[in-house]
Structure 1
Amino acid sequence: MRFVQDIPHTRFRIGLYAWNGKYIVKIEAGPYEQTYKISEMDLTDPAVVPAMLDEPFMSRVAQRFQDMDTDWQATGERNDAF
């Protein structure tokens, strides 16, 4: 996997990578990660990726991270792991 660039964000660590004919957007928050794969054929210029990470999209990303944490905590409690 080839690193393309970091995408600055106030809440999350975001990296853009290229691998196997795809661009990969990795968004990290603590122990959780969301990955979006975009075919190089579908994206004319990887420079547009930061603009695609607009407020409505990032708001949903934040909600998804919250849901992931809720699910993880719930399974830990159900299974006496925490």
Structure 2
Amino acid sequence: MRFVQEIPHPQFRIGLYAWNGKYIVKIEAGPYEQTYKVNEMDLLQPDAVPSLLDVAFLEKVTQRFREMAIDWQETGERNDVF
């Protein structure tokens, strides 16, 4: 996997990678990560990726991270780990 660029964001660490004919967008928040793959043929250039990360999309990413944290906490409690 080849690192292409970091996409600045105040809340998340966002990295753009290229691998196997796809662009991979990795969004990290603490111990959690969301990954999105886009076929290179669907975009003219990697510079188009940041425009996909608009406010509406990132609000949903934020909500998904919250849900991931809740799910993780709940499974820990259910299984007497946390």
TM-score (norm 2): 0.98
SS of the aligned residue for 1:27 comes to strand
The structural deviation recorded for 1:66 is 0.2
- Which consecutive aligned stretches of 4+ in structure 1 deviate over 6 angstroms post-superposition? none
Aligned equivalents of 1:48 and 1:37: distance in 2? 14
Q: Deviations over 1:32-75 (max 9, x none)?
A: 00000000111111101111100000000000000000000000
Gaps of 5+ in 2: none
Structure-2 residue corresponding to 1:29:
29
Aligned CA-pair RMSD: 0.4
Q: Does 1:74 align with 2:74?
A: yes
TM-score (norm 1): 0.98
Aligned equivalents of 1:48 and 1:40: distance in 2? 11
Q: How many aligned residue pairs are there? A: 82
Comparing 72-81 with 44-53, greater Cα deviation is found at 44-53
Corresponding letter in the other structure for 1:54 = D
The structural deviation recorded for 1:24 is 0.1
Structure-1 residue corresponding to 2:2:
2
Sequence identity percentage: 72
Corresponding letter in the other structure for 2:59 = S
